[in-house]
């Protein structure tokens, strides 16, 4: 089940982190998103701060047609792209959490009808992707 939590869409997966990561990338691809960036937060914090934490990845997901439409409408919207998707271990619960930014968040910063349309489509696609996990 996909829930709206704060400024993101959230689902919990009863699978290990590596399996969930593979499923997330495949589900995003099925909805027309590619992963442009991957940030391994656990490794970064260990390297920079010598801090240990659970596995946590930030994926920068982009749907090229939607990004093009958004950027054509408002070049500054690039500040909010790509759509971030996070995957992290919930060690206490023994599962993996997947969250995606709710694209409707960017509509709050723009009064453009085009941006509203793009955000609605992006939200629908992200919800579909998360629902398949």
The 3-state secondary structure of 72-105 reads HHCHHHHHHCCEEEEEEEECCCCEEEEEEECCHH
Model pLDDT for residues 61-119, shown as the tens digit of each residue: 999 999 999 999 989 889 989 999 999 999 888 899 999 999 998 788 877 889 999 99
Q: Which CATH architecture has domain 3-131?
A: 2-Layer Sandwich (3.30)
pLDDT score at 133: 97
Residues, the chain, total? 133
């Amino acid at each position: 089940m996909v829930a709206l939590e704060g400024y993101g869409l959230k689902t919990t997966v009863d699978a290990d982190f590596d399996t969930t990561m593979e499923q997330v990338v495949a589900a995003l691809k099925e909805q027309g998103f590619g992963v442009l960036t991957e940030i391994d937060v656990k490794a970064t914090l260990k390297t920079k701060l010598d801090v240990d934490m659970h596995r946590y990845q930030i994926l920068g997901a982009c749907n090229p047609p939607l990004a093009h439409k958004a950027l054509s409408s408002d070049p500054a919207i690039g500040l909010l792209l790509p759509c971030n998707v996070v995957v992290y271990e919930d060690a206490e619960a023994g599962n993996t959490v997947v969250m995606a930014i709710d694209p409707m968040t960017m509509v709050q910063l723009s009064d453009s009808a085009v941006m509203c349309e793009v955000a609605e489509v992006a939200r629908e696609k992200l919800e579909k992707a998360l629902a398949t996990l």
